[in-house]
Chains A and B, each alone.
Chain A
């Protein structure tokens, strides 16, 4: 038995064919080619940073799309950030007076606007080069060909791809709804009363209308873009260049703004839960059965229109759904995380039989893959079609499992990879998620049926310090293999 001190930060080791391998946390065999090094278990989406550039008059949903798209891309593992010019403006100006700032003949204001727009571009460059970002969303009106030209030139110089997303809407009801929902509560209108704010905002839109040049099928045929008409009834898609743009288009074509709620719940307490064992495929305990009945009553009480019910393929979620007395759909993709060799063990048993695995899991619970099992990262990949379908649907109740529910919740509440595996999803509690403005309202309903607690908190490991003692069995070290620090992706 050999004991090694291994720096925490370089837990990836060189793979030398045949001789030995030290599996890294995600059990991904490391390759000889540094350019092939990836932190995730998924293939490259793009080699080249991409700028997504929003286009459209105010109150057309640009910020809504920017934030939602960014949340989705981050969730699937593509580092993305929004750069909202309105925010840059507020930082420069401190207080907003009125719409006059946006008048096209306001030279002074134009100068200021060009300046902070240029700062935003600089920040984007910095995000790509210094922070390993892959996608930057420039959230601004970008309504003139001239402005878009500036952005295109900037991107060309730096070697970034550009993809435009234009939102076109002439339905006055939608515009009014947008305005009421998000504009009037913006920091700009803190000191205005509602009616004055509305008047000022409409004048603001007028300032842009005069010079608005929409993307054109003919004149802009060399650009890559999607034009969204009237919140998705029609799309014009031009020159999709690569995989990530194709995924973005698919996502945008599946989202909608119809009000609805998503209910997330775990199965009722199971027999293995009672024994403190993870995984497996057991049925409900008697408390779990009580929960199933309580869930049915709760759902009836909510009077939900056209509710769809989804479960996994595992007995415990199906038994829970059965008590509802309504049709339900089984998704294999909703199955609990596969704990591989640790299936049906207690945490104590895992500690006893696989202590190094247990330690590795606590180091990086998101990327850690059980031997012959899965990681949270794998789960997210597996759940992507579920999220896509949830976006298409309206009212849905998803009866699933702890790790699965954490992944879904992280998507809706924009939680990071670090936080995701530690989100609290206790048994016998329903979370009701309702999209609201730019985010999601969460209501938690504990249905008052006792259950065990299955939540294991983040252990107090100091991750910024360097070393962790590991005991490793069956190790043959090849002398020419230095422990290499991974090069940035």
Chain B
């Protein structure tokens, strides 16, 4: 405990507007921390368990995408991929036969190679969560992993997917297995037959996680694609969040429509933020949106807006009930609200430069950052996962954050995603990702997208700063 007479001076970090002690008297930086999702020093190893075609890779990829979006550095390690690198050409299911000594040796090597990379990611590369995606169907294999984790100081959380519904399994095979590199030179019937034999190879030695025998392990057993869950010994915050996420996702086919409000009066003037109404063209867009939505014949569509006038006016034109979320409000530009970029450059040139240097983390004075936005939007994402067909009418920065979640964009890319006015993005989950269809509703609007200028130095000239500002009145 430090001597309290040595109270440290506080300075405000200019980028994130966070008060930090200035290191005047040598007390360590790690003394204070920002609230992050992962407050533990101890990395977590998530281990999937289950027969082939049970959705392990689907869950691994989705979970990894979600954790990265909420700022928990996560990476998945798919043992199948290591195997494909090792055994260049896949011949047949025989490779997986339990009596195939050669096959077993290679498979074990691949698992160990993957674990090695896991160790590197979690220990040397600042990773916080690693998802070890493999069948891991025997207690023996899981023991190996537990020992590995113990040696390295990692927590382990198992995610097991159990499913006996033949329709679900068949659909999985069609959606992801047939297109996989193993079966590129196979016709559909042969591929399916081979894959079913592959599953059989694992079935005999499969030891599911057991309530009694594995009662000291931390795990979630997902049964029948989420009909039932068994959750055992959740150890910490991140595991609790992971369980909550896994219990909210589903695989029912649906589409999510994202669009911005119609062009607003402030948009036309080149001003950011504020709470103005729609321009004449914006109202036209609202009508066009109504027609577009009708033509799509969407079943049970939910419509969400923010609590700002321009999204609500847009929704009003649809003639259907909608829900207002304060969480969908545009990013708060603080002291820069309703200013033009030219004015921001003039009044706050330093702020303007800092923003270009790190647009994701930059927080407007008395306002928010994209990073804050993501935190604010997390409950929206969680509810979008629970829902089926939804149209979200929101704002530029908000739409960028939501899009980054669905399309797995990094923090660097996120603030520069193109989300033009009067364009609807239709996102449909497909295989391991998301299909995007962009529909421009043919109503003119100003461009509000400002690219990153090449000179982001605080010493730059105003012209250099304003180079990429889009045209406005």
Q: Which of A15, A237, A283 has the most CB of B within 10 A?
A: A237
Could you say which of B8, B35, B325 contacts A330, with CB atoms under 8 Å apart?
A: B35
Does A456 sit within 8 A of B, measured CB to CB? no
Interchain Cβ contacts under 8 Å between A and B, 29 examples? A15-B312, A21-B309, A29-B312, A41-B326, A43-B323, A43-B325, A44-B323, A233-B215, A233-B233, A234-B230, A234-B232, A235-B230, A239-B227, A253-B231, A253-B234, A253-B244, A254-B240, A283-B10, A289-B7, A322-B8, A322-B10, A327-B30, A327-B31, A327-B32, A328-B33, A330-B18, A343-B366, A381-B326, A389-B237
In the complex, chain B residues whose CB is within 8 Å of the CB of A331: 35
B311 nearest CB neighbor, chain A only: A29
Bound together, the chains give a CA A323 to CA B230 distance in angstroms of 45
Q: Are A392 and B240 in contact (CB under 8 A)?
A: yes
Q: In the complex, A149→B12 CA distance in Å?
A: 61
Residue of A nearest to B240 (CB): A254
- B1 x A325 contact (CB < 8 A): yes
- Band of interface residues on B: 35 or more
Contact (Cβ within 8 A) A332 B375 = yes
Complex Cα gap A49–B2 (Å): 54
- A217 at interface, CB cutoff 8 A: yes
Closest to A386 in B: B35
Residues 285 to 299 of chain A near chain B (Cβ within 8 Å):
289, 292-293, 296
CB <8 Å contact, A330 and B240: no
Known: A43-B324, A233-B215, A236-B228. 18 other contacts (CB 8 A): A15-B312, A17-B277, A17-B316, A21-B309, A27-B307, A28-B324, A31-B316, A31-B322, A233-B232, A235-B230, A240-B247, A246-B248, A253-B244, A313-B18, A322-B21, A329-B32, A381-B326, A392-B240
Q: A35 contacts the other chain (Cβ, under 8 Å)?
A: yes
A351 lies within 8 A of chain B by Cβ? no
A332 and B231 within 8 A (CB)? no
Is there contact, CB below 8 Å, between B10 and A318?
A: yes
A329 touches B35 (CB 8 A): yes
Q: Tell me whether B231 and A234 are in contact (CB under 8 A).
A: yes
Which of A18, A238, A283 lies in contact with B277, CB distance below 8 A? A18
**Interfacial residues of chain B within 1-33, with CB under 8 A of chain A in the complex:** 1-4, 7-8, 10, 12, 17-19, 21, 30-33
Please tell me if A243 contacts chain B, counting CB pairs below 8 Å: yes
What is the number of residues of chain A that contact chain B, defined by CB distance less than 8 Å? 63
Complex-state Cα separation, A169 to B7, whole angstroms: 50
Which residues of B are found within 8 Å of A35, using beta-carbon distances?
A: 321
The residue in chain B whose Cβ has the minimal distance to the Cβ of A237 is B229
CB distance from A74 to the nearest CB of B (A): 19
Is residue B72 contacting chain A, with contact meaning CB distance below 8 A?
A: no
B residues in contact (CB < 8 Å) with A: 1-4, 7-8, 10, 12, 17-19, 21, 30-35, 39, 211, 215, 227-234, 237, 240, 243-244, 247-248, 277-278, 304, 307, 309, 312-313, 316, 321-326, 337, 366, 372, 375, 383, 386
Question: Would B233 and A32 count as touching, CB distance under 8 A?
Answer: no
CA distance A244 to B191 in the complex (A): 43
- A246 adjacent to B386 (CB under 8 Å): yes
Cα A240 to Cα B309 in complex, Å, equals 35
- Give the chain A neighbours of B372 by CB distance below 8 A: 332
Nearest residue, chain B, Cβ from A392: B237
Q: Spell out A's residues near B (CB within 8 Å).
A: 15, 17-18, 21, 27-29, 31-33, 35-36, 41-44, 217, 221, 233-240, 243, 246, 249-250, 253-254, 283, 289, 292-293, 296, 300, 310, 313-315, 318-319, 321-333, 343, 372, 378, 381, 389, 392
The residues of A that contact B247 with a CB separation of less than 8 Å are 237, 240, 246, 249-250
Q: Is the CB of A217 within 8 A of B375?
A: no
> Distance in Å from the Cβ of B240 to the closest Cβ of chain A?
6
CA–CA, A332 to B277, complex, Å?
A: 30
> Do A221 and B228 touch across chains, with their CB atoms under 8 A apart?
yes
**How close is A344's CB to chain B, nearest CB, in angstroms?**
10
Which A residue's beta carbon lies closest to that of B378? A385
Name the distance in Å between B273's Cβ and chain A's nearest Cβ.
10
Within the assembled complex, what's the spacing in Å between the Cα atoms of A32 and B21?
51
Give min CB distance, A467 to chain B, whole Å. 28
Interface centre among A15, A249, A293, A332 (most CB of B within 10 A): A332
Q: Chain B residues near A296 (CB, 8 Å)?
A: 4
Give which listed residue, B19, B211, B316, B321, contacts A315 with CB less than 8 A.
B19
Contacts of A330 in B (CB 8 A): 18-19, 32-35
CA distance A44 to B247 in the complex (A): 20
CA of A239 to CA of B237 in the docked complex: distance in angstroms?
24
Interface majority SS (helix, strand, loop, mixed), chain B: mixed
B228 touching A250, Cβ below 8 Å:
no
Partner of A18, one of B8, B227, B304, B313: B313
CB neighbours (8 Å) of A333 from chain B are 35
**Contact between A17 and B237 (Cβ–Cβ < 8 Å)?**
no
- For the complex of A and B, the 4 pairs showing the least CB-CB separation, nearest first, are A325-B2, A331-B35, A235-B231, A237-B229
| Closest partner residue, chain A, to B1 (CB atom) | A325
Q: Which A residues are CB-close (under 8 A) to B21?
A: 322
Contacts of B227 in A (CB 8 A): 221, 238-239
Q: Are B10 and A319 in contact (CB under 8 A)?
A: yes
Nearest CB of B to A329, in Å: 5
With A17-B316, A246-B247 in contact, do A325 and B4 touch (Cβ < 8 Å)? yes
**Which single residue of chain A is at the shortest CB-CB distance from B304?**
A43
Bound-complex Cα distance A235 to B4 (A): 45
With a CB–CB cut-off of 8 A, which chain A residues contact B237?
A: 389, 392
Q: A36 contacts B322, CB within 8 Å?
A: yes
Closest to A311 in B: B32
- The minimal Cβ–Cβ distance linking A246 to chain B, given in whole angstroms, is 6
**CB distance A237 to B231 under 8 Å?**
yes
List of A residues within 8 angstroms of B304 by Cβ: 43
Complex contacts, B316 vs chain A, CB 8 Å: 17, 31-32
A333 to B378, CA, bound (A): 13
- Nearest residue in A to B17 (C-beta to C-beta)? A313
Task: Please determine whether B307 and A41 come into contact, CB atoms closer than 8 angstroms.
Answer: yes
User: A residues within 8 A CB of B248?
Assistant: 246
How far apart sit A238 and B227, CA to CA, in the bound complex (Å)?
Answer: 6
Alpha-carbon distance between A392 and B234 when the two chains are bound, in angstroms: 11
The residue of chain B having its C-beta at the shortest distance from the C-beta of A239 within the complex is B227
B228 close to A323 (CB less than 8 A):
no
Q: Are A327 and B33 closer than 8 Å at their CB atoms?
A: yes
Closest to A230 in B: B215
Contacts of B211 in A (CB 8 A): 234
Cα–Cα, bound, A319→B20 (Å): 10
Task: Determine if B7 and A323 form an interchain contact, defined as CB atoms under 8 angstroms apart.
Answer: yes
